[in-house]
Copies of this chain bind each other. A is one copy, B any other.
Amino acid sequence: MSKQARTAIEPTREENYAEWYQQVIKAADLAENSDVRGCMVIKPWGYAIWENIQRVLDGMFRETGHRNAYFPIFIPKSYFEKEAEHVEGFAKECAVVTHSKLEDDGKGGLKVAGELTEPYIVRPTSETIIGESFSRWVNSYRDLPLLINQWANIVRWEMRTRLFLRTAEFLWQEGHTVHESYEDAMQETLKMLDVYADFAENYLAIPVIKGEKTESERFPGAISTYCIEAMMQDKKALQSGTSHFLGQNFAKASNIKFQNRNGEVQYAWTTSWGVSTRLIGALIMTHSDDNGLVLPPKIAPSHAVIIPIYKNEEERAKIMAFVDEIKQELKHIQYDSIPLRLEIDDRDLTSSERSWYWIKKGIPVRMEIGPRDLDNKSVFLGRRDKEPKEKQGIGYAELAATLPVILDDIQNNIYNKALGFRNANTIEINDNKEFYSYFTPKNEEQPEIHGGFASSHWCGNAACEEKIKDDLKVTVRCIPNDAKQEDGICICCGQPSQRRVIFAKSY
Protein backbone atom coordinates (compact mmCIF):
# COMPACT_ATOMS: atom_id res chain seq x y z
CA MET A 1 0.00 0.00 0.00
CA SER A 2 1.49 3.31 -1.04
CA LYS A 3 1.93 6.07 1.49
CA GLN A 4 -0.63 8.26 -0.21
CA ALA A 5 -3.26 5.58 -0.07
CA ARG A 6 -3.53 6.52 3.60
CA THR A 7 -2.68 10.18 4.21
CA ALA A 8 0.04 12.45 2.95
CA ILE A 9 0.84 13.68 6.45
CA GLU A 10 2.08 11.33 9.12
CA PRO A 11 1.22 11.30 11.93
CA THR A 12 -2.43 12.27 11.48
CA ARG A 13 -4.14 14.87 13.68
CA GLU A 14 -5.71 12.05 15.65
CA GLU A 15 -2.40 10.30 16.23
CA ASN A 16 -0.26 13.24 17.31
CA TYR A 17 -1.61 16.72 16.76
CA ALA A 18 1.55 18.64 17.68
CA GLU A 19 3.73 16.58 15.38
CA TRP A 20 1.09 16.70 12.63
CA TYR A 21 1.35 20.52 12.79
CA GLN A 22 5.13 20.43 12.26
CA GLN A 23 4.74 17.96 9.40
CA VAL A 24 2.14 20.08 7.61
CA ILE A 25 4.56 23.02 7.72
CA LYS A 26 7.34 20.85 6.39
CA ALA A 27 5.23 19.25 3.64
CA ALA A 28 3.96 22.64 2.47
CA ASP A 29 7.48 24.09 2.73
CA LEU A 30 6.28 27.09 4.74
CA ALA A 31 9.08 27.61 7.26
CA GLU A 32 11.89 25.95 9.18
CA ASN A 33 13.76 26.39 12.41
CA SER A 34 17.11 28.11 12.21
CA ASP A 35 20.23 27.63 14.31
CA VAL A 36 19.46 30.97 15.93
CA ARG A 37 17.69 30.28 19.18
CA GLY A 38 13.93 30.28 18.59
CA CYS A 39 14.12 32.18 15.29
CA MET A 40 12.45 30.78 12.21
CA VAL A 41 13.18 31.04 8.51
CA ILE A 42 10.01 31.84 6.59
CA LYS A 43 10.29 30.13 3.22
CA PRO A 44 8.79 31.55 0.01
CA TRP A 45 5.41 29.78 0.16
CA GLY A 46 4.96 30.79 3.81
CA TYR A 47 6.18 34.31 3.22
CA ALA A 48 3.78 34.73 0.29
CA ILE A 49 0.92 33.97 2.69
CA TRP A 50 2.23 36.70 4.98
CA GLU A 51 2.47 39.12 2.05
CA ASN A 52 -1.18 38.47 1.22
CA ILE A 53 -2.14 39.01 4.85
CA GLN A 54 -0.20 42.29 4.74
CA ARG A 55 -1.76 43.42 1.48
CA VAL A 56 -5.34 42.92 2.65
CA LEU A 57 -4.88 44.24 6.20
CA ASP A 58 -2.89 47.22 4.97
CA GLY A 59 -5.80 48.14 2.71
CA MET A 60 -8.18 47.87 5.67
CA PHE A 61 -5.95 50.08 7.82
CA ARG A 62 -5.84 52.70 5.07
CA GLU A 63 -9.61 52.56 4.64
CA THR A 64 -9.91 53.37 8.33
CA GLY A 65 -7.56 56.34 8.02
CA HIS A 66 -4.23 54.93 9.22
CA ARG A 67 -0.86 55.68 7.70
CA ASN A 68 2.32 53.60 7.87
CA ALA A 69 5.57 54.81 9.39
CA TYR A 70 8.74 53.24 10.74
CA PHE A 71 10.41 53.61 14.15
CA PRO A 72 13.77 52.44 15.54
CA ILE A 73 14.25 48.76 16.32
CA PHE A 74 16.14 49.65 19.52
CA ILE A 75 14.59 50.91 22.72
CA PRO A 76 16.88 52.58 25.27
CA LYS A 77 16.62 50.86 28.65
CA SER A 78 15.52 54.14 30.22
CA TYR A 79 12.41 54.35 27.96
CA PHE A 80 11.56 50.84 28.83
CA GLU A 81 11.61 51.68 32.53
CA LYS A 82 9.04 54.46 32.18
CA GLU A 83 5.95 52.28 32.41
CA ALA A 84 6.26 49.94 35.38
CA GLU A 85 3.75 47.25 34.40
CA HIS A 86 5.00 47.33 30.83
CA VAL A 87 8.63 46.68 31.68
CA GLU A 88 7.57 44.04 34.18
CA GLY A 89 5.76 42.24 31.35
CA PHE A 90 8.64 42.25 28.90
CA ALA A 91 11.90 42.46 30.87
CA LYS A 92 12.17 38.72 31.42
CA GLU A 93 12.44 37.84 27.77
CA CYS A 94 14.17 40.49 25.72
CA ALA A 95 17.27 40.70 23.54
CA VAL A 96 19.69 43.25 24.98
CA VAL A 97 22.32 44.99 22.85
CA THR A 98 25.26 45.95 25.04
CA HIS A 99 28.19 46.32 22.63
CA SER A 100 28.90 47.98 19.30
CA LYS A 101 31.74 45.94 17.83
CA LEU A 102 33.74 42.75 17.68
CA GLU A 103 37.49 42.74 18.13
CA ASP A 104 40.29 40.27 17.64
CA ASP A 105 40.55 38.22 20.84
CA GLY A 106 44.22 37.39 20.17
CA LYS A 107 43.29 33.72 19.84
CA GLY A 108 42.13 33.80 16.23
CA GLY A 109 38.57 34.60 17.20
CA LEU A 110 36.48 37.63 18.04
CA LYS A 111 35.38 39.14 21.32
CA VAL A 112 32.69 41.72 21.98
CA ALA A 113 33.91 45.29 22.49
CA GLY A 114 32.72 48.88 22.48
CA GLU A 115 30.37 48.68 25.46
CA LEU A 116 27.41 51.04 25.16
CA THR A 117 26.78 53.59 27.88
CA GLU A 118 23.11 52.55 27.89
CA PRO A 119 21.94 49.12 26.79
CA TYR A 120 19.33 48.91 24.06
CA ILE A 121 16.44 46.44 23.97
CA VAL A 122 15.45 44.97 20.61
CA ARG A 123 11.76 45.97 20.45
CA PRO A 124 9.38 43.40 21.96
CA THR A 125 6.62 45.96 21.14
CA SER A 126 7.00 49.67 20.38
CA GLU A 127 4.73 51.69 22.69
CA THR A 128 7.62 53.42 24.44
CA ILE A 129 9.77 54.19 21.40
CA ILE A 130 6.81 55.36 19.32
CA GLY A 131 5.50 57.33 22.30
CA GLU A 132 8.73 59.28 22.26
CA SER A 133 8.02 60.47 18.71
CA PHE A 134 4.35 61.03 19.42
CA SER A 135 5.23 63.34 22.31
CA ARG A 136 6.82 65.62 19.69
CA TRP A 137 4.16 65.14 16.99
CA VAL A 138 1.17 65.91 19.17
CA ASN A 139 0.69 69.47 20.41
CA SER A 140 -2.90 70.40 19.80
CA TYR A 141 -6.28 68.70 19.44
CA ARG A 142 -5.87 69.61 15.76
CA ASP A 143 -3.12 66.96 15.53
CA LEU A 144 -5.58 64.32 16.69
CA PRO A 145 -6.51 61.63 16.06
CA LEU A 146 -3.02 60.46 15.13
CA LEU A 147 -3.44 57.09 13.42
CA ILE A 148 -0.19 55.26 12.71
CA ASN A 149 0.68 51.69 11.81
CA GLN A 150 4.05 49.98 11.59
CA TRP A 151 4.99 46.70 9.85
CA ALA A 152 8.03 45.36 11.67
CA ASN A 153 9.98 42.51 13.18
CA ILE A 154 9.76 41.90 16.90
CA VAL A 155 11.91 39.94 19.35
CA ARG A 156 10.68 38.24 22.52
CA TRP A 157 13.11 35.77 23.98
CA GLU A 158 10.53 33.01 24.48
CA MET A 159 11.73 29.82 26.12
CA ARG A 160 9.48 27.35 24.34
CA THR A 161 9.08 28.14 20.69
CA ARG A 162 6.98 26.64 17.93
CA LEU A 163 6.98 27.68 14.25
CA PHE A 164 4.62 30.62 13.65
CA LEU A 165 2.83 30.21 16.99
CA ARG A 166 5.62 31.36 19.25
CA THR A 167 9.04 32.36 17.95
CA ALA A 168 11.78 34.54 19.37
CA GLU A 169 11.62 36.78 16.31
CA PHE A 170 8.33 37.26 14.51
CA LEU A 171 6.80 39.66 12.00
CA TRP A 172 3.79 41.77 12.83
CA GLN A 173 2.00 45.04 12.46
CA GLU A 174 1.44 47.33 15.39
CA GLY A 175 -1.08 50.15 15.25
CA HIS A 176 -0.47 53.07 17.59
CA THR A 177 -3.01 55.85 17.86
CA VAL A 178 -3.54 58.99 19.92
CA HIS A 179 -6.90 60.55 20.71
CA GLU A 180 -8.51 63.53 22.42
CA SER A 181 -10.78 61.58 24.71
CA TYR A 182 -11.51 58.34 26.47
CA GLU A 183 -14.46 57.78 24.14
CA ASP A 184 -12.47 58.30 20.93
CA ALA A 185 -9.70 55.97 22.05
CA MET A 186 -12.16 53.31 23.15
CA GLN A 187 -14.01 53.59 19.86
CA GLU A 188 -10.73 53.10 17.99
CA THR A 189 -9.84 50.08 20.14
CA LEU A 190 -13.13 48.40 19.30
CA LYS A 191 -13.07 49.47 15.65
CA MET A 192 -9.72 47.78 15.09
CA LEU A 193 -10.95 44.67 16.87
CA ASP A 194 -13.78 44.65 14.32
CA VAL A 195 -11.26 45.02 11.48
CA TYR A 196 -9.35 42.01 12.82
CA ALA A 197 -12.51 39.93 13.17
CA ASP A 198 -13.64 40.91 9.67
CA PHE A 199 -10.24 39.95 8.29
CA ALA A 200 -10.07 36.65 10.19
CA GLU A 201 -13.55 35.58 9.12
CA ASN A 202 -13.75 36.91 5.58
CA TYR A 203 -10.18 36.34 4.43
CA LEU A 204 -8.62 33.68 6.64
CA ALA A 205 -12.01 31.91 6.87
CA ILE A 206 -11.45 31.56 10.61
CA PRO A 207 -14.51 32.15 12.82
CA VAL A 208 -13.54 34.19 15.87
CA ILE A 209 -15.06 35.30 19.14
CA LYS A 210 -14.54 38.98 19.95
CA GLY A 211 -14.17 39.77 23.59
CA GLU A 212 -12.29 41.35 26.42
CA LYS A 213 -9.41 39.77 28.31
CA THR A 214 -9.51 39.42 32.06
CA GLU A 215 -7.00 41.39 34.10
CA SER A 216 -4.57 38.48 34.30
CA GLU A 217 -4.28 38.24 30.51
CA ARG A 218 -4.14 41.96 29.79
CA PHE A 219 -1.32 43.61 27.82
CA PRO A 220 1.23 44.94 30.35
CA GLY A 221 0.32 48.58 30.92
CA ALA A 222 -3.10 48.52 29.23
CA ILE A 223 -6.40 49.53 30.86
CA SER A 224 -8.20 46.90 28.84
CA THR A 225 -7.26 44.38 26.18
CA TYR A 226 -9.68 43.06 23.57
CA CYS A 227 -8.99 40.00 21.48
CA ILE A 228 -10.21 37.66 18.82
CA GLU A 229 -10.11 34.01 19.85
CA ALA A 230 -10.26 31.10 17.42
CA MET A 231 -10.69 27.37 17.95
CA MET A 232 -8.01 25.12 16.50
CA GLN A 233 -8.69 21.51 15.48
CA ASP A 234 -7.38 20.19 18.76
CA LYS A 235 -10.16 22.30 20.32
CA LYS A 236 -7.70 24.63 21.99
CA ALA A 237 -8.05 28.38 21.67
CA LEU A 238 -5.59 30.56 19.78
CA GLN A 239 -5.51 34.28 20.52
CA SER A 240 -5.27 35.66 17.00
CA GLY A 241 -5.17 39.41 17.44
CA THR A 242 -5.37 41.98 20.23
CA SER A 243 -6.46 45.59 20.52
CA HIS A 244 -5.50 47.54 23.64
CA PHE A 245 -7.11 50.54 25.23
CA LEU A 246 -4.13 52.14 26.98
CA GLY A 247 -5.98 54.97 28.66
CA GLN A 248 -3.51 57.70 29.61
CA ASN A 249 -0.89 55.28 30.99
CA PHE A 250 1.50 55.45 28.08
CA ALA A 251 0.74 59.11 27.38
CA LYS A 252 1.94 59.82 30.91
CA ALA A 253 4.99 57.57 30.54
CA SER A 254 5.96 59.19 27.21
CA ASN A 255 4.64 62.67 27.98
CA ILE A 256 2.14 62.86 25.14
CA LYS A 257 0.24 66.05 25.95
CA PHE A 258 -1.94 68.34 23.86
CA GLN A 259 -3.86 71.56 24.13
CA ASN A 260 -7.51 70.57 24.12
CA ARG A 261 -10.48 72.47 22.66
CA ASN A 262 -10.75 74.48 25.88
CA GLY A 263 -7.15 75.61 25.64
CA GLU A 264 -6.02 73.37 28.50
CA VAL A 265 -2.98 71.12 28.25
CA GLN A 266 -3.82 67.50 29.03
CA TYR A 267 -2.53 63.98 28.55
CA ALA A 268 -3.79 62.19 25.46
CA TRP A 269 -5.50 58.79 25.26
CA THR A 270 -3.78 56.07 23.29
CA THR A 271 -4.41 52.63 21.81
CA SER A 272 -2.30 49.91 20.27
CA TRP A 273 -3.26 46.79 18.34
CA GLY A 274 -1.47 44.04 16.51
CA VAL A 275 -1.53 40.80 14.62
CA SER A 276 1.49 38.75 13.69
CA THR A 277 2.83 35.81 11.71
CA ARG A 278 1.01 33.79 14.37
CA LEU A 279 -2.01 34.17 12.07
CA ILE A 280 -0.30 31.71 9.74
CA GLY A 281 -0.25 29.21 12.61
CA ALA A 282 -3.97 29.86 13.11
CA LEU A 283 -4.58 29.34 9.40
CA ILE A 284 -2.72 26.03 9.38
CA MET A 285 -4.42 24.66 12.48
CA THR A 286 -7.93 25.74 11.51
CA HIS A 287 -8.17 24.30 8.00
CA SER A 288 -5.46 21.77 7.30
CA ASP A 289 -6.18 18.06 7.18
CA ASP A 290 -4.25 14.81 7.14
CA ASN A 291 -3.22 15.50 3.56
CA GLY A 292 -1.55 18.78 4.41
CA LEU A 293 -2.23 22.48 4.22
CA VAL A 294 -5.62 23.86 3.20
CA LEU A 295 -5.61 27.52 2.20
CA PRO A 296 -8.51 29.94 1.88
CA PRO A 297 -8.47 31.14 -1.75
CA LYS A 298 -8.46 34.80 -0.71
CA ILE A 299 -5.11 34.43 1.00
CA ALA A 300 -3.46 31.61 -0.99
CA PRO A 301 -0.18 32.52 -2.73
CA SER A 302 -1.61 30.94 -5.88
CA HIS A 303 -5.22 30.12 -6.66
CA ALA A 304 -4.81 27.21 -9.01
CA VAL A 305 -2.29 24.94 -10.67
CA ILE A 306 -2.44 23.35 -14.09
CA ILE A 307 -0.89 19.89 -14.28
CA PRO A 308 -0.35 18.81 -17.88
CA ILE A 309 -0.20 15.03 -18.40
CA TYR A 310 1.37 13.45 -21.48
CA LYS A 311 3.30 10.39 -22.51
CA ASN A 312 5.44 11.63 -25.35
CA GLU A 313 6.69 14.75 -27.11
CA GLU A 314 3.86 14.75 -29.61
CA GLU A 315 1.23 14.75 -26.86
CA ARG A 316 3.24 17.28 -24.92
CA ALA A 317 3.20 19.80 -27.77
CA LYS A 318 -0.56 19.57 -28.14
CA ILE A 319 -1.27 19.72 -24.42
CA MET A 320 1.06 22.60 -23.76
CA ALA A 321 -0.62 24.52 -26.59
CA PHE A 322 -3.96 23.96 -24.84
CA VAL A 323 -2.43 24.95 -21.48
CA ASP A 324 -1.22 28.13 -23.07
CA GLU A 325 -4.69 28.79 -24.46
CA ILE A 326 -6.14 28.39 -20.97
CA LYS A 327 -3.45 30.64 -19.52
CA GLN A 328 -4.35 33.37 -22.01
CA GLU A 329 -8.06 32.90 -21.34
CA LEU A 330 -7.55 33.24 -17.56
CA LYS A 331 -5.07 36.10 -17.80
CA HIS A 332 -7.64 38.79 -17.24
CA ILE A 333 -9.75 36.98 -14.69
CA GLN A 334 -9.82 38.59 -11.27
CA TYR A 335 -10.56 36.95 -7.98
CA ASP A 336 -11.24 39.16 -4.96
CA SER A 337 -9.96 42.21 -6.88
CA ILE A 338 -6.58 40.79 -7.78
CA PRO A 339 -5.51 38.92 -10.92
CA LEU A 340 -5.98 35.17 -10.70
CA ARG A 341 -2.67 33.57 -9.73
CA LEU A 342 -1.97 30.44 -11.72
CA GLU A 343 0.86 27.91 -11.47
CA ILE A 344 1.81 25.58 -14.29
CA ASP A 345 3.58 22.47 -13.08
CA ASP A 346 5.30 20.83 -16.00
CA ARG A 347 8.02 19.12 -13.94
CA ASP A 348 9.35 15.74 -14.86
CA LEU A 349 7.33 13.90 -12.20
CA THR A 350 4.27 11.66 -12.39
CA SER A 351 0.92 13.44 -12.38
CA SER A 352 0.18 11.86 -9.03
CA GLU A 353 3.42 13.20 -7.53
CA ARG A 354 2.64 16.66 -8.83
CA SER A 355 -0.95 16.53 -7.59
CA TRP A 356 0.14 15.51 -4.14
CA TYR A 357 2.82 18.19 -4.11
CA TRP A 358 0.13 20.84 -4.57
CA ILE A 359 -2.38 19.17 -2.27
CA LYS A 360 0.19 19.32 0.52
CA LYS A 361 0.84 22.99 -0.28
CA GLY A 362 -2.87 23.73 0.05
CA ILE A 363 -3.50 25.21 -3.39
CA PRO A 364 -7.29 25.64 -3.72
CA VAL A 365 -7.73 24.27 -7.24
CA ARG A 366 -5.85 21.69 -9.33
CA MET A 367 -6.55 21.30 -13.04
CA GLU A 368 -5.24 18.18 -14.72
CA ILE A 369 -5.10 18.13 -18.48
CA GLY A 370 -4.39 14.90 -20.29
CA PRO A 371 -4.91 13.74 -23.90
CA ARG A 372 -8.56 12.84 -23.25
CA ASP A 373 -9.29 16.29 -21.81
CA LEU A 374 -7.75 17.76 -24.93
CA ASP A 375 -10.30 15.96 -27.07
CA ASN A 376 -13.17 17.29 -24.93
CA LYS A 377 -11.56 20.73 -24.62
CA SER A 378 -11.95 20.43 -20.89
CA VAL A 379 -9.97 20.16 -17.67
CA PHE A 380 -10.28 17.71 -14.81
CA LEU A 381 -10.64 19.87 -11.72
CA GLY A 382 -9.90 18.92 -8.12
CA ARG A 383 -10.73 21.12 -5.12
CA ARG A 384 -8.64 21.17 -1.97
CA ASP A 385 -11.77 21.21 0.20
CA LYS A 386 -12.92 17.89 -1.26
CA GLU A 387 -11.40 14.42 -1.30
CA PRO A 388 -8.29 14.21 -3.51
CA LYS A 389 -9.96 11.68 -5.79
CA GLU A 390 -13.15 13.68 -6.22
CA LYS A 391 -12.75 15.61 -9.47
CA GLN A 392 -15.05 17.19 -12.02
CA GLY A 393 -14.68 17.86 -15.73
CA ILE A 394 -15.14 21.48 -16.76
CA GLY A 395 -15.38 22.65 -20.34
CA TYR A 396 -12.90 25.22 -21.54
CA ALA A 397 -15.72 27.59 -22.47
CA GLU A 398 -17.00 27.74 -18.89
CA LEU A 399 -13.66 27.88 -17.14
CA ALA A 400 -13.20 31.65 -16.90
CA ALA A 401 -16.67 32.13 -15.48
CA THR A 402 -16.59 29.07 -13.23
CA LEU A 403 -13.24 29.41 -11.52
CA PRO A 404 -14.05 32.49 -9.40
CA VAL A 405 -17.32 30.85 -8.38
CA ILE A 406 -15.50 27.68 -7.32
CA LEU A 407 -12.92 29.71 -5.38
CA ASP A 408 -15.68 31.57 -3.55
CA ASP A 409 -17.36 28.28 -2.82
CA ILE A 410 -14.15 26.86 -1.33
CA GLN A 411 -13.67 30.03 0.72
CA ASN A 412 -17.20 29.74 2.14
CA ASN A 413 -17.02 26.02 2.52
CA ILE A 414 -13.90 25.98 4.69
CA TYR A 415 -15.25 28.85 6.77
CA ASN A 416 -18.48 26.97 7.38
CA LYS A 417 -16.61 23.79 8.17
CA ALA A 418 -14.51 25.63 10.78
CA LEU A 419 -17.62 27.31 12.19
CA GLY A 420 -19.40 23.98 12.38
CA PHE A 421 -16.45 22.47 14.20
CA ARG A 422 -16.34 25.30 16.71
CA ASN A 423 -20.07 25.18 17.29
CA ALA A 424 -19.98 21.41 17.74
CA ASN A 425 -17.26 21.82 20.34
CA THR A 426 -18.66 24.74 22.32
CA ILE A 427 -21.17 24.09 25.02
CA GLU A 428 -22.78 25.89 27.88
CA ILE A 429 -21.76 24.30 31.16
CA ASN A 430 -23.44 25.27 34.39
CA ASP A 431 -22.25 22.50 36.66
CA ASN A 432 -18.80 22.39 38.28
CA LYS A 433 -18.47 18.62 37.98
CA GLU A 434 -19.44 18.64 34.34
CA PHE A 435 -16.95 21.45 33.78
CA TYR A 436 -14.10 19.44 35.31
CA SER A 437 -15.07 16.37 33.37
CA TYR A 438 -15.28 18.34 30.10
CA PHE A 439 -11.72 19.53 30.46
CA THR A 440 -10.26 16.18 31.50
CA PRO A 441 -8.29 14.58 28.66
CA LYS A 442 -10.07 11.66 26.98
CA ASN A 443 -7.07 10.38 25.09
CA GLU A 444 -4.00 9.61 27.17
CA GLU A 445 -1.76 9.80 24.11
CA GLN A 446 -2.71 13.41 23.61
CA PRO A 447 -3.44 14.78 27.05
CA GLU A 448 -3.69 18.30 25.70
CA ILE A 449 -6.82 17.58 23.74
CA HIS A 450 -9.92 18.27 25.76
CA GLY A 451 -13.57 19.06 25.36
CA GLY A 452 -13.41 22.38 23.56
CA PHE A 453 -14.84 25.76 24.54
CA ALA A 454 -17.06 26.05 27.60
CA SER A 455 -19.43 28.97 27.94
CA SER A 456 -19.81 29.22 31.70
CA HIS A 457 -20.54 31.72 34.40
CA TRP A 458 -17.65 33.36 36.20
CA CYS A 459 -17.97 35.67 39.19
CA GLY A 460 -15.12 37.91 38.05
CA ASN A 461 -12.86 36.90 40.88
CA ALA A 462 -9.19 36.32 39.99
CA ALA A 463 -8.96 33.56 42.60
CA CYS A 464 -11.52 31.44 40.74
CA GLU A 465 -9.72 32.05 37.46
CA GLU A 466 -6.47 30.90 39.05
CA LYS A 467 -7.94 27.82 40.65
CA ILE A 468 -9.31 26.65 37.33
CA LYS A 469 -6.00 27.36 35.67
CA ASP A 470 -4.10 25.40 38.32
CA ASP A 471 -6.52 22.48 38.28
CA LEU A 472 -7.15 22.16 34.55
CA LYS A 473 -4.78 24.46 32.64
CA VAL A 474 -7.94 26.16 31.47
CA THR A 475 -8.24 29.95 31.30
CA VAL A 476 -10.85 32.57 30.58
CA ARG A 477 -10.16 33.24 26.89
CA CYS A 478 -12.42 36.27 26.86
CA ILE A 479 -15.56 37.91 28.07
CA PRO A 480 -17.42 38.00 24.76
CA ASN A 481 -18.42 41.47 23.57
CA ASP A 482 -21.90 40.12 22.87
CA ALA A 483 -22.27 38.41 26.26
CA LYS A 484 -25.83 38.80 27.44
CA GLN A 485 -26.73 39.91 30.95
CA GLU A 486 -27.88 36.68 32.57
CA ASP A 487 -28.18 35.52 36.16
CA GLY A 488 -26.13 32.46 37.03
CA ILE A 489 -23.57 31.12 39.47
CA CYS A 490 -19.81 31.02 39.06
CA ILE A 491 -18.64 27.66 37.72
CA CYS A 492 -15.87 27.66 40.33
CA CYS A 493 -17.14 29.19 43.58
CA GLY A 494 -20.89 29.19 43.10
CA GLN A 495 -21.22 32.92 43.83
CA PRO A 496 -23.66 34.95 41.74
CA SER A 497 -22.52 35.92 38.23
CA GLN A 498 -24.17 38.10 35.60
CA ARG A 499 -22.61 36.75 32.41
CA ARG A 500 -20.94 33.82 30.79
CA VAL A 501 -17.34 33.85 29.62
CA ILE A 502 -15.40 31.53 27.29
CA PHE A 503 -13.18 28.99 29.07
CA ALA A 504 -10.67 26.90 27.13
CA LYS A 505 -7.17 25.55 27.04
CA SER A 506 -5.04 27.72 24.85
CA TYR A 507 -1.81 28.16 22.93
On A, residues with C-beta under 8 Å from B are 32, 34-36, 39-44, 47-48, 50-51, 67-77, 79-81, 87, 91-103, 109-110, 112, 114, 119-122, 129, 132-133, 136, 148, 152-153, 155, 157, 169, 171
Contact = CB atoms under 8 A, between A and B. Distances in A.
Contact of A41 (B71, B98, B110): B71
A79 B97 CA distance: 18
A58 to B, nearest CB: 9
A100 B110 contact: no
19 contacts: A32-B133, A35-B132, A36-B129, A39-B73, A41-B72, A44-B69, A50-B70, A73-B122, A73-B153, A73-B169, A80-B102, A80-B110, A91-B101, A91-B103, A95-B97, A95-B120, A98-B112, A100-B157, A152-B153
B148 A122 contact: no
B95 A110 contact: no
Contact of A51 (B68, B100, B169): B68
Contact of A48 (B35, B68, B81, B122): B68
B95 A74 contact: yes
A323 to B, nearest CB: 19
B35 A76 contact: yes
A437 to B, nearest CB: 40
A155 B73 contact: yes
A95 B97 CA distance: 6
B67 A48 contact: yes
Contact of A76 (B36, B75, B87): B36
Contacts of A75: 36
A87 B102 contact: yes
A102 B110 contact: no
A80 B102 CA distance: 10
B98 A102 contact: no
B91 A96 contact: no
Contact of A74 (B71, B81, B119, B169): B169
Nearest to A96: B99
B87 A110 contact: yes
Contacts of A121: 102
A45 B5 CA distance: 56
Max count, chain B CB within 10 A of own CB: residue among A47, A101, A102:
A102
A79 B169 CA distance: 18
A171 B87 CA distance: 27
Contacts of A69: 41-44, 47
A97 B116 CA distance: 11
Contacts of A76: 35-36
In the A-B complex, the 8 residue pairs with the closest CB atoms? A39-B72, A44-B67, A96-B99, A91-B102, A42-B70, A36-B72, A100-B157, A95-B97
Nearest to A171: B70
A101 B110 contact: no
Contacts of A79: 35
Contacts of A81: 109-110
Given A36-B120, A92-B101, 19 more contacts: A34-B133, A36-B75, A40-B72, A41-B69, A41-B72, A42-B69, A44-B67, A48-B68, A73-B169, A74-B169, A81-B109, A87-B110, A91-B103, A96-B99, A96-B112, A97-B98, A98-B99, A152-B153, A153-B153
Contacts of A100: 93-96, 157
Max count, chain B CB within 10 A of own CB: residue among A36, A71, A120:
A36
A182 to B, nearest CB: 26
Nearest to A155: B73
A99 to B, nearest CB: 4
A80 B100 CA distance: 15
A39 B96 contact: no
A42 to B, nearest CB: 4
A171 B79 CA distance: 23
